[in-house]
Amino acid sequence: MKLYITAGSPYARIVRVVIIEKALQHRVDIILAPTRVADSPYYRINPSGRVPYLICDDGVGLEESALIVDYLDQLDGKPIFNLPAGETGWQARRLEALARSMMDGLAVWGRELARPENERSPTIVRHEKHRSMRMVDLWEAEIEHPWLHGALNMAQITLACALGLDARNPDFQWRRGHPKLSAWFDAITARPSFVATTASSRR
């Protein structure tokens, strides 16, 4: 299989973490895709131009991190990210949705910063910065939830990949005033799957 990524994409990082957690490194070639440039050859591989994008062994392409994770998780017939039924399942989905919501806002902010300075929108940057601060406060209050502890799950991976965007956005200073979240982040990102996929500074 081939996985197209960019070095800084948090959505691609989710998939890269899962590949390591599922010990699938030997089955997936990871390829850097030139995104957001005119006439990129990548557009002939994935017309949307987005990453992550997985080309399966049968040549079929999959876009969307959640779909790719689900596909990879089922490959060995021993999925580890299936959700439980009932109230715990709803809590798991609620927390994952919140983590993805924060990631989406941070991605918009990061995209603005990647533009030439004279093309950036201060309004969008301010809006996303304020959103991220509200979300970080929310996570400081939620972080003791049992689903965010114990066996690794997609809410935990998504939240850690979102917070890890501080490596690429120096204005995303979330640690101050959030000691419980900081301790949680330090513990989860000590896992080899996170260490191996640490986001580098700006692409």
Rounded Cα distance, 54 and 77, in Å: 19
Number of residues binding to ligand GSH, judged by CB under 6 A: 12
Closest CB to ligand GSH among residues 9, 193? 9
Shortest distance, position 52 Cβ to ligand GSH, whole Å: 6
Minimal distance in Å, beta carbon 160 to ligand GSH?
Answer: 15
Antiparallel, parallel or unpaired: β 2-5 and 53-55: antiparallel
Find where tokens 């997936």 sit.
28
Q: How far is the CB of 17 from ligand GSH (least distance, A)?
A: 13
Q: Closest-CB residue for ligand GSH?
A: 50
Among residues 7, 56, 64, 166, the one that binds ligand GSH under rule CB under 6 A: 64
Least distance to ligand GSH, CB of residue 9, Å: 4
Q: What are phi and psi of 2, to 5 degrees?
A: -125, 135
Alpha-carbon span 68 to 18, nearest angstrom: 10
Q: In the complex with ligand GSH, which residue's Cβ is closer, 109 or 184?
A: 109
Positive or negative, the Cα torsion across 136, 144, 96, 25?
positive
Q: Judge if the upstream peptide bond of residue 52 is cis by omega within 30 degrees of 0.
A: yes
CA gap 62, 55 in Å, rounded: 6
CB of 179 to ligand GSH, least distance (A): 29
Smallest separation, CB 130 to ligand GSH (Å)? 21
CA atoms within a 13 Å half-sphere pointing along the CA-CB vector of 87: 1
Q: Is the CB of residue 105 less than 8 Å from the CB of residue 113?
A: no
Contacting ligand GSH within 4-63 (CB under 6 A) = 6, 9, 11, 35-36, 49-52
For residues 119 to 158, the per-residue mask of contacts with ligand GSH, x marking binding by CB under 6 A and - elsewhere, is: ----------------------------------------
> Which residues in this chain contact ligand GSH in the complex, by CB under 6 A?
6, 9, 11, 35-36, 49-52, 64-65, 107
